[in-house]
Structure 1
Amino acid sequence: MTEIRKPVLIVGGSLVGLTTSALLGAHGIDSLVVERHTGTAIHPRAASFHQRTMEIFRTIGIDEKVEAAADLEFVQQGAIMAVETLAGKELAYFQANYNSGVEHLSATPRLFITQIGLEPILRDRAREYGADIRFNTELVDFTQDDDGIHATIRSREEGSTSMVHADYLVAADGAHSAIREQLGIPLAGRGTFANCVTIYFKSDVRSMIGDRNLSVIYVNHPEFLAFFRFSITADSGFLAVFSTKSADGTKDTNVSADLSNERLTYFVRTALGAPADWPIEIENVQSWEASAGWATAFRSGRVLLAGDSAHTMPPTGGFGGNTGIADAHNLAWKLAHVLRGTAGTDLLGTYDAERRPNSALVAEQAYARYVARLDPDLPKENLAEELDDAAVELGAVYGSHAVITDGSELPDTHNPRTGVLLVGSRAPHVWLERDGAQLSTLDLVQRGFLLLTGADGQEWCDAAAVVGRELGVDVSAVSVDSGAAVSDPSGTFCEVYGIEPSGAVLIRPDDIVAWRSVGAGADPAGALRSAMTALLAVPAPAMS
């Protein structure tokens, strides 16, 4: 039997597994990805990606490729609306433009792209970083002990097996995760509330759309609840059907029980509001569960859950895939530091402490939107109040030892529209200039830690060099000043970041604000050293 040694084994080579591999590669960590399917996605699946996700893609240099691929698939600046049928009565507009009102919050846009278009970009980027990605390969079994992960994988084509020895295992194996089941980790939350179908079809609907600029169309028909997404050419698309209702008002959420071509065609034709002879070709159909839940633990020893194995949520809001990518971003730098020995293993405990509460919040937000937009008859016990989409998408707030606060209680989310920094949340986007070119504050965050200071922050810059050298980690320092290499044309940096010109803000490799000093300190190196050692779960270096 062939033996393979890798720092990280990733089971699941779809959206989250490939993102995790690419982000690990960006941090210089090799990974082996095994995926039981023969290649990347053949169904659109997740198709809505938020600004935070695009910021993450920007860090690995694929944002422009993703935007270009997205433009080939969908209308990017269209409305999100509800209709009785596409050709019939309009019921409501949820958003006139998918990016309206959020353009100033990030250097990147929200966009629509299918996993069919996105996953090959992620796969190629991960391989450019050196990842070993094996499709048509499955995990047979695994064990873990003090020495690491010991797993057997099998080629589904050849039947040959290999033994993999890894330090850590990332379970990105989907909603019905066999790894999560083996670990005995239960799910909390709402559970499954509908068995749905997505119908992929060809039909020229340009005359029905007319001059409307549409991205997502919810269909609230008397006989069923669904939503449409159409291709950029409006000659194909998909219809996701969530529930049906009979003439006597009886609701059926088990839509996937009957997948006959006749019934599927009826759904599409009726949702379009098309006549009986309207040409429709059913290309494919996919059954899936609408559920909202999360694992009660995201880590078990050397195994870490990410993506759908850690949480599930309905498609309302488009949070599912984005939440999984946020898992990958939170986890990759922590694994990298632990594997390099620059952080204690307790840092991995912050993955569960940070991502699990946020995932639960996002799942409940998706459920609340599902109830409001698609099924008001569902249970409303402890129904979450809908938050501003921007707060859900960009406003995750983390409370763990990897965030050093002033002791104030942290909110569940932070709305970036407030225009001010909150320690424990994403660093705010502010446009800066360097060498005459515009860049975001977030563009300054590379693979290591970033210390941002104002015009009078040279002592902090000196401290960053000292502490980084002591701890063996990269702590770059940037002074933002009208006369410096990085300037602040708007003059808002210090105000937004809540510091005096002599203050400093420490930003983690995942763009999260880890610590702040509003002004100059008596001992900048000591203050930064204390914050960094607490964050990384390492002892303070011996002072000579």
Structure 2
Amino acid sequence: MSTRHTPVLIVGGSLVGLSLSALLAQHEVPHLLVESHAGTAIHPRAASFHQRTMEVFRGLGIQEAVEAAAAREFVQNGAIVAVESLGGKQLATFFANFNAGVEDLSPTARLFITQVGLEPVLRDRAVELGAEHLFHTELVSLTPHADHVAAALRPRDGGEPFEVTADYVVAADGAHSGIREQLGLPMTGHGDFADCVTIYFRADLRELIGDRNLSVVYVNHPDLLGFFRFSLDAQSGFLAVFATFDADGARDSNPSHDLQTDRCLELVRTALGGGDDLPVEVESVQYWSAGAATAQSLRSGRVLLAGDAGHVMPPTGGFGGNTGVADAHNLAWKLALVHRGIAGPELLDTYDAERRPIAELTVEQAYTRYVLRVDPSLPQDDLQPQLDDPSIELGGLHRSSAVSGDDVVEPPLQDPREARWSVGARAPHHWVDEARTVSTLDLTAGGFALLLPEGFETSRVAAESFAAQIGLPVTVHPLAADSAIGAPGAVLIRPDGVVAWTSSSPSAAADEIAHTFERLLCRSETEAVPV
């Protein structure tokens, strides 16, 4: 069996794996991505993408490409509502406009795009930046060692098996992660609570939709619970069914069992409310489980879990795919600096410390929305109160040695509308040019950004000197005295847009900078390795 080496092996080439691949390629980290399927997604899953995810795509240089692909699939900025049926009574409005109230929080907007439309954009960008992908290639076995991980791989077209050794492996192999199971990392939470089905269909929906711009339509019908998404031309869509009810009102939370075409047609017509004679063609059916759980750890030695491999949640709220992209964003720069010898390997411990609490909270929020919107019969004894959507999407606070400050408090969220420069939080968005084209979130450009007001000249010299010694990418941005961004003095922003450190004292900042970088990069046992 032939053997090759790669610094990072990504197992899984869907949304999260491709996002991580593009980010690693942007950081110039050699890596290999393997995916068992022959190509990118063929089922339109994960249609809701939040501003934080779009900020990641903006940093990758693909914001416009993603927006264009989204416009080819859906009319944007639609409503999220609950109805008895599409043609029947409207029961609730969760969002009248998907971006209402968050327009000024980011240089980007929330949008709807399926993985069918998004994944090719990510794949093309990753390859353009130098990534290597092997699709139609499956993982046969994974053997962790103290100083590397060995992976046996096999092409699914009958080619010869081969072995890859990697410094680190990222498991992005989905909710039923074989790698997670092999490592013995248990999932904790609510587990699976419904065996669901998604029915992809064709029908002329123009009359039923009318002049409404509907992004997501929850269906709370006496016969079924689920939600709709419709195509741009209103000629097709899908219905995800969570539960069905019999004539006596008895609930079946496993609607996917023994589901024949006639039953699929019946469910779609019932949810549409257009009558039993409405022409409907079922194109395909996909089965899946609704669950809410988080792995007890996102790291085991040199193997790290990302996306659904580390946390699963129901689709209510649209948090699942966004949480996975946030994992990739947090992990990529850390892998890059460890690979280059600039940071100590302990920096990777901060991935679990930072991401798992945020993922756990997000899982619980998705579960709360599922119970309140879909299935109030589920246990509510330990149900978390529903929190503010923008705070979940943009306000996560990171707690680890990779941030330096004392103002990170429970719960791990803050309101992004307060635009505070809190250590551990995403840097608030402010336009820094008169043309409103450059955001504070654009300043990292793949490395650290150090914002310095007037009077911090010695801090600039100290930062640039230290960065040059170890090869750390740091860009210094002077702030004018009349800057409107509200920075509390010197501000250090990590490559993932998180505020890592602040100082209000010019003299203290200059003295602290080298020590702060050493601590943030976990360099206590790492010699400087110029690049």
Same fold (TM over 0.5): yes
- The residue type paired with residue 474 of structure 2 is V
TM superposition shift of 1:447: 1.2
For the residue of structure 2 that corresponds to 1:244, the secondary structure is strand
TM superposition shift of 1:407: 6.1
Equivalent pair of 1:458/1:479 in contact (CA under 8 Å): no
Equivalent pair of 1:450/1:475 in contact (CA under 8 Å): yes
**Cross-structure match for 2:453:** 454
- The residue type paired with residue 233 of structure 1 is D
The structure 1 residue matched to 2:516, chosen from 498, 511, 531, is 531
**Cross-structure match for 2:437:** 438
1:119 counterpart = 2:119: yes
Matches within 5 A, 1:262-273: 262-273=262-273
- The residue type paired with residue 492 of structure 1 is A
TM superposition shift of 1:408: 6.0
1:521 counterpart = 2:507: yes
**Cross-structure match for 1:493:** 485
TM superposition shift of 1:129: 1.6
**Cross-structure match for 2:213:** 213
1:250 counterpart = 2:256: no
Matches within 5 A, 1:349-360: 349-360=349-360
Equivalent pair of 1:80/1:216 in contact (CA under 8 Å): yes
Equivalent pair of 1:449/1:507 in contact (CA under 8 Å): yes
Q: Deviations over 1:353-410 (max 9, x none)?
A: 0111110000000000011111111111211111110000011111100011136645
1:469 counterpart = 2:476: no
**Cross-structure match for 1:24:** 24
- The residue type paired with residue 115 of structure 2 is Q
The structure 2 residue matched to 1:508, chosen from 494, 498, 511, is 494
What is the distance in 1 between the residues matched to 2:95 and 2:33?
A: 38
Equivalent pair of 2:399/2:408 in contact (CA under 8 Å): no
Of residues 403-412 and 95-104 in structure 1, the stretch that sits farther from structure 2 once superposed is 403-412
Equivalent pair of 1:399/1:410 in contact (CA under 8 Å): no
TM superposition shift of 1:414: 1.1
Q: Deviations over 1:422-457 (max 9, x none)?
A: 1101000001117x5631000111111111122333
What is the distance in 2 between the residues matched to 1:423 and 1:76?
A: 34
**Cross-structure match for 2:320:** 320
Q: Deviations over 1:215-243 (max 9, x none)?
A: 11100000110100001111111000000
For the residue of structure 1 that corresponds to 2:433, the secondary structure is strand
For the residue of structure 1 that corresponds to 2:317, the secondary structure is coil
Equivalent pair of 2:11/2:170 in contact (CA under 8 Å): yes
Matches within 5 A, 1:120-519: 120-406=120-406, 409-433=409-433, 438-481=437-480, 491-494=483-486, 497=487, 499=488, 503-519=489-505
What is the distance in 2 between the residues matched to 1:409 and 1:113?
A: 34
What is the distance in 2 between the residues matched to 1:90 and 1:235?
A: 22
For the residue of structure 2 that corresponds to 1:341, the secondary structure is coil
| Structure 1 unaligned regions, length at least 5 | 483-487
Of residues 295-304 and 443-452 in structure 1, the stretch that sits farther from structure 2 once superposed is 443-452
What is the distance in 2 between the residues matched to 1:417 and 1:351?
A: 26
- The residue type paired with residue 462 of structure 1 is V
What is the distance in 2 between the residues matched to 1:52 and 1:200?
A: 29
TM-score where L is the length of structure 2: 0.97
For the residue of structure 2 that corresponds to 1:157, the secondary structure is coil
What is the distance in 1 between the residues matched to 2:351 and 2:275?
A: 53
What is the distance in 2 between the residues matched to 1:149 and 1:122?
A: 26
What is the distance in 1 between the residues matched to 2:57 and 2:408?
A: 32
What is the distance in 2 between the residues matched to 1:518 and 1:259?
A: 64
For the residue of structure 1 that corresponds to 2:217, the secondary structure is strand
Equivalent pair of 1:467/1:525 in contact (CA under 8 Å): no
What is the distance in 1 between the residues matched to 2:213 and 2:459?
A: 50
What is the distance in 2 between the residues matched to 1:534 and 1:452?
A: 19
What is the distance in 2 between the residues matched to 1:19 and 1:63?
A: 13
What is the distance in 2 between the residues matched to 1:70 and 1:408?
A: 36
- The residue type paired with residue 519 of structure 1 is S
Equivalent pair of 1:269/1:278 in contact (CA under 8 Å): yes
Equivalent pair of 1:9/1:32 in contact (CA under 8 Å): yes
What is the distance in 2 between the residues matched to 1:152 and 1:336?
A: 24
TM superposition shift of 1:165: 1.2
TM superposition shift of 1:211: 1.0
TM superposition shift of 1:249: 2.0
TM superposition shift of 1:480: 2.1
TM-score where L is the length of structure 1: 0.95
Q: Deviations over 1:325-356 (max 9, x none)?
A: 00000000000111110011110000010111
Q: Deviations over 1:313-333 (max 9, x none)?
A: 000000000000000000000
What is the distance in 1 between the residues matched to 2:236 and 2:176?
A: 30
For the residue of structure 1 that corresponds to 2:81, the secondary structure is strand
TM superposition shift of 1:110: 0.4
For the residue of structure 2 that corresponds to 1:142, the secondary structure is strand
For the residue of structure 1 that corresponds to 2:506, the secondary structure is coil
TM superposition shift of 1:213: 1.3
Of residues 158-167 and 36-45 in structure 1, the stretch that sits farther from structure 2 once superposed is 158-167
**Cross-structure match for 2:39:** 39
What is the distance in 2 between the residues matched to 1:192 and 1:429?
A: 37
TM superposition shift of 1:421: 1.9
- The residue type paired with residue 313 of structure 1 is M
**Cross-structure match for 2:58:** 58
Matches within 5 A, 1:31-110: 31-110=31-110
Q: 1:541 to 1:184 in 2, by over 3 A?
A: closer
Aligned length: 527
For the residue of structure 1 that corresponds to 2:68, the secondary structure is helix
